Amino acid sequence: MIRTILSGAVLAASLAVASTLPAGAHDMEPGMAHAGDVMIHGAVARATIGPAPNSAVFMTLTTEGEADRLVAASTPAARMVELHESKMADGVMQMSPVEGGIAIEPGTETVLKPGGLHIMLMGVTAPLEEGGTIPLTLTFEKAGTVEMVVPIGKATAGHGHSH
Ligand SMILES: [Cu+2]
């Protein structure tokens, strides 16, 4: 019974946050946007823990047109943003910049997720707290530039490695 009441309170708090999103989200859900033929969905920024300086943004990218590439990302919430890929090398998870951008192919979901492709936020200007949002600008080779609102989700394990 207590658990039910608490869940209701948490849900109400979540809805309150969602209703105060900044302009620019249009009528789309936070974490969703489109640039030309490219659709962005499920975007989420990882909350930071304590004084951790880095975070990452994950999302799913699809195209309803021709192949494209995510070539750049930026946000005022971090001093530097890079497109990264994490890979296991000699039993150790390592990450490196993606040369030439992240490919988006017709008929396929390009999934940015912990342990794989991600948008790395280096040097966050303030802690990223779950339930908040950050603005994010994405630039695609063909579809151009789009500004979107990205919700901040849970701090997840799996991307805690450093450079
Ligand atoms: Cu990274």
Q: Closest Cα partner for 43 from 6, 90, 89, 75? A: 75
What is the reported pLDDT for 27? 52
C-alpha 115 to ligand 1 mean position (Å):
9
CA of 4 to the centre of ligand 1 (A): 38
Residue 66 confidence class, pLDDT cut points 50, 70, 90: very high
- pLDDT tens-digit readout, 35-47: 999 999 999 999 9
Check whether 18 has a pLDDT greater than 60. no
Q: pLDDT band for 29, please (50, 70, 90 cuts).
A: confident
- Delimit the domains of the chain by residue range: 2-153
How far is the centre of ligand 1, averaged over its atoms, from the C-alpha of 120 (Å)? 5
Pick 12 or 144 by higher pLDDT.
144
- Higher pLDDT among residues 157 and 88, named by residue: 88
| pLDDT-derived band at 106, boundaries 50, 70, 90 | very high
DSSP one-letter string for 7-66: HHHHHHHHHHHHTTPPTT-TTSPTT-EEETTEEEEEEEEEPP-TT--EEEEEEEEEESSS
Q: How far is the CA of 88 from the centre of ligand 1 (A)?
A: 13
Average pLDDT for 116-142: 97
Of 16-20, 41-45, 54-58, least confident by mean pLDDT is: 16-20
Name the one residue in this structure whose structure tokens are 């799996």.
158
Which of these CATH numbers, 1.20.120.420, 3.40.50.300, 2.60.40.1890, 3.30.710.10, describes 2-153? 2.60.40.1890
Q: What is the mean pLDDT of the chain?
A: 85
Could you tell me the distance, in angstroms and rounded to a whole number, from the CA of residue 52 to the centre of ligand 1? 13
Is residue 155 very low, low, confident or very high in pLDDT (cuts 50, 70, 90)? Answer: confident
C-alpha of residue 142 to centroid of ligand 1, in Å = 24
